[in-house]
Structure 1
Amino acid sequence: MSSSKTQIYRILTKKHGLTLKTEALKYLENVVAELPNEQLAETLDYIALSYTQQQDTRKLLVDRASLEEVVQNIFRKSAINQALENAVSASSNGGSEAVGGMVGDISIEDIAGYLHVIDAFSTPRWKWRPDAKQFMRSHEKPRLLAPPAAKALAFRDRYDTLKQRILRNDAFRPSTFTRTGDHFEITSIKNLQGHKPGSFLLLGMLTTIEEGKYHLEDPDGLIEIHLNGKIDKGVGLFCLNCFVLAEGLYTEDRIFKVRTLGMPLPETRQKSLSAFGHNVNFFGGPSAGDDQMVLENIEVNMTDVIFVIVSDVWLDQPRVVMKLRRLFEGFSSTSSAPPLAFILIGNFMSIPYLYEGQHHEPYKQCFNTLADLISDFRDLAQTSRFIFVPGPQDPWGAKTLPRPSIPKYYTERIRSKLPRAIFMSNPCRIKYCTQEIVIFRDDIVKRMRRGSIVPPREDVDVSLERHLVATLIDQAHLCPLPPAARPTYWGYDHALRLYPQPHLLVLADKHESYSVDYEGCKCINPGSFGGAEFEFMVYHPATKSCQASKIT
């Protein structure tokens, strides 16, 4: 057995548990053939680690195609990083080459290797294990029509995730050097039964069992609550099915009179990650792993990389198609590199899709028109990614979340003309280098406001949009509403979760556009491109900033 083959077996198979198929083994031997012996072990170890981070961890039988993808990604990453270092060196020595933009030989196609789009139906599911105090990945494939027990399990998972986050907050952590009573303690509802009347702090889900009465529920019990009278409220929209921290008085009538009501305490993304490490990949897609610093270097220095985010692209309206042409003309004529991606979000018709058949061909023709339009801009069609996310009025299954991508029947021409067109679910996730982006299209402002059971806190400096954003981030969920207001496939409830919080949350809505920064997460609504002002937004990942724009 050759030296390289021996090392491959020792490192990939014995150390990392990977078994290479014959073609994969031959390919890897060719890759490392010219390496000095002193670099061989380190290189093979890095390839194995990269494979386990980028591929399904259960895929222990390695084929050539998946291995080649990993190796090419390593080469690309190394070349880009070297080009950046050369540009920095040239700039610091007074050279003319500036850092940023498309440096040297780096192209948008190279950068696109760090763009990964994750469908809701392939999002990994992690469950909190209170006994082990860690998250464990569930490899059981969810079912679209899950059994009734899946609903209770979804709520239990949400409760456990929020509670472990809350208990990490300093306000809930007792210290050896502080007096008793200097921290908050959560009492389970079941334990209230053995207590005399008094003040308690509860964590539970707002629900209703009897008409006209509200209850608070945790995994162990249920109690009637009174929300009348003066209540000190935190920022947020308090709807049924939201989890809340409620402080109040437990009475002899076994009723809990709420005096203070707040959302579960939030936590920054960095604190969540530091608790479990980057190896717990909640988001999906490849893990950054040991390449975190390299990816951050690429991310920060590629200042020409942009995402164009457009919602309510009403393709049945000639005025919208005309303005869409103007938008593509603008990004095609600029001297900068083409956008890395156009994120085109529904609804794709100005009227709801009717399933009786009258919208069957018109809807398909809308996408045919778009395919021909984009094809007129050769540089964009060949370079940029076009990511399509359906809206609530698009086919099929618009009433239940998450909803699948637009059926292929309607998009045959655009798929043939645009090989880089990507049709995703709603919601979906995008990973670019180290950044995580969540895209969600729903009229969530109206739904949450209509579902509030107590009026939000009336602060002059707290807008409705901030109340909404605080609710979703604090709940760590895109749509914490009852099934009657927004049905959910319970087996895929984890695809709606926001934990840890993403870098960018796109809440595409027919509500007016906004940008809100909350606990380190940037939350935006790009506005309606089908509206009077043809609004959209441009995201700059290098600076994590958004630019509100419109077509005049």
Structure 2
Amino acid sequence: MSAVLKSKVQRKFKMRGYTIKLEALAEILSFVNRFPDAEDDAIDLLLDELHHLSLKSSILDKEAVNKVVTLLLEAEAAVEENPNSATLGVGGSALRVINAFDIPKFRYDPVKKIFYEHTGQNPIHGDASAKAALYRDRFLLLFQRLSRDPHFSRPNFGSDFSDYGSCEISPIQSLVGQTGRRWIMGLISQLEDGHFYLEDLNAAVEVDLSNAKITTGFFSENTIVLAEGEMLLDGVFQVKTCGFPPLEDREKSFSYFSGVDFFGGCILTKEETLRLSELESRAVNDMFVILSDIWLDNEETMANLETVLDGYENVDVVPSLFVFMGNFCSRPCNLSFNSFSSLRLQFGKLGQAIATHQRLMEQSRFLFIPGPDDVGPSTVLPRCPLPKYITEELQKHIPNAIFSTNPCRIKFYTQEIVFFRQDLLYRMRRSCLMPPSTEETSDPFEHLVATITHQSHLCPLPLSVQPIIWNYDHSLHLYPTPHTIVLGDRSEQKAFKYTGITCFNPGSFSNDNTFVAYRPCTREVELSAL
């Protein structure tokens, strides 16, 4: 029977254009033998998954096959979880926490119009070329998205743009000697004090933004914009209209780049996606409780946290996940901070407080995300997880606690959720080059959400305001757009649905006693407070 199966595997793979090495064949047979009553389906599933994988060669080695087999077995484990359980997937692979440093890095090739995975090393201390690549990657990411927008695409057969309401983007270097209105795309930068420029990949032009009509969002240095205007005789481009590149629907992005794992939670086949979607729709009892700014050195905060834990201990179905976002101390843990041993003990007390709630310990998971002023090697983004020395005492009481980076990502069945703890609203407002437009909204949080989603980046601030590790800037990208973005911020608690994306700020628990209960099944946000 094994000889027949071996022949069947080789024939099916050959029909798809693959050549199998001996070690890879053994791996395939081992996988197929797990399904004695569905061998053909198992082989077809394996082939479909290989088709989504970016392979360098049609000759399959053990490493490529092993990668796919691992993903399929993880998906199988997720599907076999009991769908009626309140902690569904939290103990299995239906809920996966993805650290910022584990997110795959992709770069766009504007000639071939494809994304390819960067397979080289990503040192923390990058060279000068890494900083240039950071801006190039951001620009190309938005440019390829814009190139598919019908308003900025040239109609076929040389049709007149005015017939379609389309606007051609002109390269900045082509503006010299041109008259009349033009559309350009570029990154706002201040190459000289008090003089602002728009830069694309090849050139820069000084711009006059004083009379520009702008759209919703915060326009600061480092943001990439579309500008309509005309060149003046003194070589300055006078901007009449300025806005962010238009958004692209999530499904449309995936349809163009199927098989590219931007999020980091692995690529699922259509069959697995349908099965997980079905399980996700049944997970009506799953709830995430998200708290930001938990000062462990503040007695009032700890008493309030105890009240929250008591409350959820006594509900019919306990939350499946608690997300604790920093800061975990009422004062910054910088060079002048000398109480690391006491902070370690305070984490131990938090562990004890959680451990006294038996149902939460048995049925909930606990995720910890550091804040901007928490202990760590630096304030640069992305931030490492909390140091082991600080969290050891807590882990004695909660062995399965998860300590992740800031930002971090969660994949819940098919849903993609991004968590980011940063006092972003205040800093974006301070960095604005002009007052935000009040035509559509005057709510600062809505302006913030519009900015980060259109920029496809969690923190589009100048690097002088918020340093970012050059080689890991991709971990802050928001492309394709996730389902949910959680922005932990000291500002007022808010929730806002924007173009199908659920965004919310749980507020500062230590200052306002606010937090959020989120139901991923329905994407319902419940703004809560004590």
Question: Could you tell me the TM-score, scaled by structure 1's length?
Answer: 0.87
1:398, distance to aligned residue in structure 2 (A)? 4.0
Check the 8 A contact 1:187/1:201 in 2, yes or no.
yes
Deviations 1:307-346 (A, max 9, x none): 111100111111111121221222221112x322111100
2:172 counterpart (189, 207, 217): 189
In structure 1, C-alpha distance between the alignment counterparts of 2:262 and 2:21, rounded to whole Å: 23
Change (3 A) 1:271 1:319: same
SS in 1 for 2:527: strand
1:126, distance to aligned residue in structure 2 (A)? 1.1
2:121 counterpart (110, 122, 141): 141
SS in 2 for 1:42: helix
Change (3 A) 1:22 1:460: closer
Unaligned runs of 5+ in 2: none
SS in 2 for 1:329: helix
Deviations 1:20-53 (A, max 9, x none): 5899689647623xx24xx312223425656897
In structure 2, C-alpha distance between the alignment counterparts of 1:482 and 1:185, rounded to whole Å: 28
Change (3 A) 1:377 1:106: closer
1:475, distance to aligned residue in structure 2 (A)? 0.5
Change (3 A) 1:51 1:359: farther
Change (3 A) 1:19 1:10: farther
Paired AA for residue 276 in structure 2: L
SS in 2 for 1:224: strand
Answering whether residue 279 of structure 2 is matched by residue 298 of structure 1, we say: yes
Paired AA for residue 220 in structure 1: N
1:210, distance to aligned residue in structure 2 (A)? 1.2
Aligned to 2:187: 205
Check the 8 A contact 1:20/1:61 in 2, yes or no.
no
Check the 8 A contact 1:19/1:61 in 2, yes or no.
no
Residues 224-373 of structure 1 aligned to structure 2 (within 5 Å): 224-228=206-210, 230-277=211-258, 279-290=259-270, 291-336=272-317, 338-356=318-336, 358-373=338-353
1:378, distance to aligned residue in structure 2 (A)? 2.4
Residues 78-89 of structure 1 aligned to structure 2 (within 5 Å): 79=80
Paired AA for residue 520 in structure 2: P
1:214 counterpart (179, 196, 207): 196
Paired AA for residue 174 in structure 1: R
Aligned to 2:521: 542
Deviations 1:493-541 (A, max 9, x none): 1111111111000110000111111111111100011113x11111111
1:390, distance to aligned residue in structure 2 (A)? 0.3
2:496 counterpart (516, 519, 525): 516
In structure 1, C-alpha distance between the alignment counterparts of 2:70 and 2:115, rounded to whole Å: 31
Change (3 A) 1:59 1:307: farther
Check the 8 A contact 2:86/2:283 in 1, yes or no.
no
Check the 8 A contact 1:54/1:286 in 2, yes or no.
no
Paired AA for residue 207 in structure 1: S
Aligned to 1:94: none
Aligned to 2:39: 40
In structure 1, C-alpha distance between the alignment counterparts of 2:34 and 2:67, rounded to whole Å: 14
1:62, distance to aligned residue in structure 2 (A)? 7.8
Check the 8 A contact 1:384/1:420 in 2, yes or no.
no
1:271, distance to aligned residue in structure 2 (A)? 2.0
1:31 counterpart (13, 34, 41): 34
1:457 counterpart (412, 437, 442): 437
Aligned to 1:71: 73
Aligned to 1:479: 459
SS in 1 for 2:192: coil
In structure 1, C-alpha distance between the alignment counterparts of 2:463 and 2:471, rounded to whole Å: 14
Paired AA for residue 74 in structure 1: E
Paired AA for residue 34 in structure 2: V
1:458, distance to aligned residue in structure 2 (A)? 2.4
Paired AA for residue 76 in structure 2: I
Check the 8 A contact 1:108/1:383 in 2, yes or no.
no
Aligned to 1:424: 404
Change (3 A) 1:76 1:262: closer
Deviates more, 1:67-76 or 1:281-290: 67-76
Task: Count matched residues.
Answer: 520
1:420, distance to aligned residue in structure 2 (A)? 2.1
In structure 2, C-alpha distance between the alignment counterparts of 1:339 and 1:288, rounded to whole Å: 27
Aligned to 1:130: 110
Aligned to 1:95: none
Check the 8 A contact 1:23/1:64 in 2, yes or no.
no
Change (3 A) 1:160 1:54: closer
Q: Percent identity?
A: 32
Deviations 1:243-290 (A, max 9, x none): 01111120121111111111111122122222222x111100222222
2:153 counterpart (165, 169, 173): 173
In structure 1, C-alpha distance between the alignment counterparts of 2:13 and 2:365, rounded to whole Å: 34
1:68, distance to aligned residue in structure 2 (A)? 7.0
In structure 1, C-alpha distance between the alignment counterparts of 2:435 and 2:508, rounded to whole Å: 27
In structure 2, C-alpha distance between the alignment counterparts of 1:304 and 1:54, rounded to whole Å: 34
